[in-house]
Amino acid sequence: MRRALVVANWKMHGDRRFITSFASQYGDAPVGVDVVICPPLAYLAQCVAAFRGRRIRFGVQNVATVPSGALTGEHAAEMARDLGAEYAIIGHSERRSLFGESDAIVAQKFQAAKRAGLNPILCVGETLQQRRSGRAHATVHAQLAAVLDNAPAPALEHATIAYEPVWAIGTGATATPAVAQDMHAAIRERLGRAGVAARTRLLYGGSIKADGAAALFAAADIDGGLVGGASLDATAFAAICCAAACAPCAATTNDTTGTQ
Ligand code: 13P
């Protein structure tokens, strides 16, 4: 049985005041759901302190390929771990398209996260052009193969795959549950060849909103979400986490009892 997982990707948003306010508005992870917040690295330590005593876990949005070195501006997975991170988003489409991360670099970063003891959340997804030209599945398969073909089965333990179609990220154009499920089923089938299909969590990401989240999470192969914009609103994010716990459950905030 896979536990639901909802991950907030705050991208390059927020400041100290925002985190204080978010922490006071957001309650706790609903029972049965793992909730992970990935703030900008600069605020990771503040986040860990602000949520102390709750079941929230933390991650980073990127890691370097190596543990240390003369790499101005980079941060190692080991440093993120040292600050309290347990997860690392790897290969987000913004890293791929804006920072030139190839499949080979993404594979190295996946290994770097594992080496440091972080749980990698590997992002895959096709562009609109690739979907329109019928290459959505081939694109995602190639992105998966770059990592899975070089990773021994133990490296895939505790890894998560996030399907984030590029055309759905930040556009408001959420994939329908059917479109998302179709790709998730294909990803799970691919994981079957690596022997980890049943236990690997698959997240959908791309314009997830509070309404509509339950329908996505109800799909057989969608185990939760990777949430961008809506994760910056404590009420909306709480509602999405709640949808992962049980579709018709009402969202509440300021509830630290764990019963929301
Ligand atoms: P949005 O939810 O803002 O579309 O972002 C999705 C995303 O990129 C999460 O990693």
The DSSP secondary structure of 208-252, one letter per residue, reads --HHHHHHHHTSTT--EEEESGGGGSHHHHHHHHHHHH-TTPPP-
What SS3 state is found at 120? strand
**Confidence bin at 150 (pLDDT 50/70/90):** confident
Q: What mean pLDDT comes out for the span 191-195?
A: 85
Query: Ligand 1 mean position to 13 CA, how many Å?
Result: 12
124 within ligand 1 shell (Cβ under 6 A): no
* Other beta carbons less than 10 A from residue 123's beta carbon: 26
| pLDDT score, position 154 | 79
The pLDDT tens digits of the residues spanning 115-127 come to 999 999 999 999 9
Express as a percent the part of the chain with pLDDT over 70.
Answer: 95
The pLDDT tens digits of the residues spanning 49-92 come to 999 999 999 999 999 999 999 999 999 999 999 999 999 999 99
- The minimum-distance atom of ligand 1 relative to the CA of 230 is 2
Domain boundaries, the chain: 4-250
State the fold for domain 4-250.
TIM Barrel (3.20.20)
Query: Ligand 1 mean position to 168 CA, how many Å?
Result: 8
Please report, for residues 130, 176, 210, 248, the alpha-carbon distance to residue 213 in angstroms, rounded to integers and kept in the order given.
Answer: 25, 10, 6, 11
Please report, for residues 30, 59, 122, 164, 200, the alpha-carbon distance to residue 91 in angstroms, rounded to integers and kept in the order given.
Answer: 28, 14, 6, 11, 17
Tokens of 119: 């749980």
Catalytic residues: 92, 164
Distance CA 181, CA 214 (A): 13
* Other beta carbons less than 10 A from residue 206's beta carbon: 26
Distance CA 260, CA 255 (A): 7
| pLDDT score, position 155 | 82
| pTM metric for this prediction | 0.93
